[in-house]
Structure 1
Amino acid sequence: MDAFVLTLKRFIARRGKPKVIYCDNGRNFVAAAKEVNSFLKSNSDSIIDSASREGIEFRFSPAYAPHFGGLWEAGVKSAKFHLNRVLKNIHLTFEELTSLFAQIEAILNSRPLCPLSPSPQDLSPLTPGHFIIGRPLTSLPSPYLLNYSTNRLDRFKRLEQARQHFWKRWSTEYVTELQQRTKWKVRCRELKIDDLVLIKDDRAPQLYWRLGRVSKLIPGTDGVPRVADVSTSQGTIRRAINRLCLLPSPDDYMDKRS
């Protein structure tokens, strides 16, 4: 319990005091499953009392029901999946691990969510970074180290190589999820002129998402568009449709809710 309260204090010191916190009933909040009820109903030095004094509302999902927090649980699972593979054989000091986690946090919070505005000239997406610092997150440039053998690098470069490995694995997975199509069951929304799209770029630097607006659709002999011209900040480029990922729009979210 004390460890969690200290974690909450660090979170408030960095991000400000939240109004509502959603969490599960996992063992990271209690010592054992049988102690959950008594732990939450305790009248002294409990998480609930500590939160109530700060004006914070805790909302616990039911026990053994991780699907109630599907959105954030999926994000945690994806990050842990790639972290386990990137850091499996690397021994890091506390300072190195903290630095790597902070950079991975920036990677996760840099992902594009939806267009920032409906203007065809605006190429900026809304990202989690906008809710944290009011603008997209960035990183310092660094040399490409994925082609180097790990035993040829010093500790600092090994740390940077681990970050690049995580970026490549996680960003590829995120782009794949954006481009996911359910064949033969649900007809996917087709690209339209002025749609904001994410352009797949295998050599993109960390925290850089190449975006553009569809300016022209080029159909094949069957009338189905398979190539598109995309306007970017560096000019117009032509790409196959399978290299473009449509970002969800506010209208798409409203359609899912209705």
Structure 2
Amino acid sequence: VSYDQRHPILLPPSGRFLDLLIDQKHQDFLHTGPYLLLAMINLRFWIPWGARLKIRNRVRQCNTCFRARPKMHAPKMAPLPELRVQGYRAFERVGIDYAGPFMITPWRRRGQTAVKSYFCLFVCLAVKAVHIELVTDMSTDNFLAAFKRFLARRGPCSFILSDCGSNFLGAKRKLSELEAFLMSDQYKAAFGNECATRRIEWKNNPPNSPSFGGIWESNVKCVKTHMKRIIGTQILTYEELNTVLIQIEALLNSRPLCVLSSDTSTPEALTPAHFLTLGSTLDYLPAKDVTDQPLNRLNRYQLIDHMVQSYWKRWRTEYFHTLQQRSKWTKDSPPVESGMVVLLKTENSPPLQWPMGVIEELFPGSDGIVRVVSVRTHTGTYRRQVSKVCPLPLQ
């Protein structure tokens, strides 16, 4: 045993010299972990107390080690938007997403080559009802055709929420051009203001932000689960796959919106199908509130109003309060600021290849918490959610 090991140099438990010593030893020993680094420092120096915690904290602040194992922070979950907690007509405000590909054949014959197909999912943002359309590709024209079929079967909608897919952006651009034409003075003079006021508002989530569209991502997962168990590895025709998707749509619209009660005297479970079979809500069908009147005093017209009103009353009393629960992201994360150096998470690439950038702009939500930022890298400026960026520890 050497003299330095038998008589190590005593160091203070904190201070600038101790930080520089730990950083230097950490680099000399090739960015080793805190346990081996502590053993190497103890060969010559001795920290009376708190050595392990101090070394661990300094290692966590190493930018080189952080780039190898970056850590992301998810901000506190935002409150639900107004369109999720208002009793709108079913499919008046919808979210859209694509899923696939799935292999199909044009018809049942020998030598047929399988081609790709996709399904477009429309989900009501109020009652979580779903509508599925089968499409043969992800082009803008095919999406607009599926969108026309959706409007013809489910009625007009006033608000659309989707991600930043190229087909959605192309459709949004075409609808924006149509809206500009409808709002022009020439069209108003020829056709009037009635049709111009029925335009569709389209909003996109930030790119690469699946958590912003959890309501349709969860439904896509359910559809894929049923398809995997029903179809397996079989290759169906277009009509067969379309039949399966419509049956899955009916099944998903029969799911209970809230937890079932074990009491047998309670009414049947409230499902999205109740809001699809009884027409519009009371906001669009003027009717007197008859929920508190006895059924034997109502005529046939009032009885239908009572059924519709009772479903929306159950929606408010049984389902609405469940939307207030937060299953995750319940605590505040470290705030991000403009000018911070961050790593931009890139899918399908190792962390050491993630580009480094600088936060240029913050986009706070209605509650003042920043969940979307604009990051400038050497290839351009990107808008990402905060959980996709990793601020470097030493700044």
Question: What band does the TM-score fall into relative to the shorter chain?
Answer: 0.3 to 0.5
Larger Rg: 2
TM-score (norm 2): 0.29
Higher relative contact order (CA 8 A, sep 6+): 2
TM-score (norm 1): 0.43
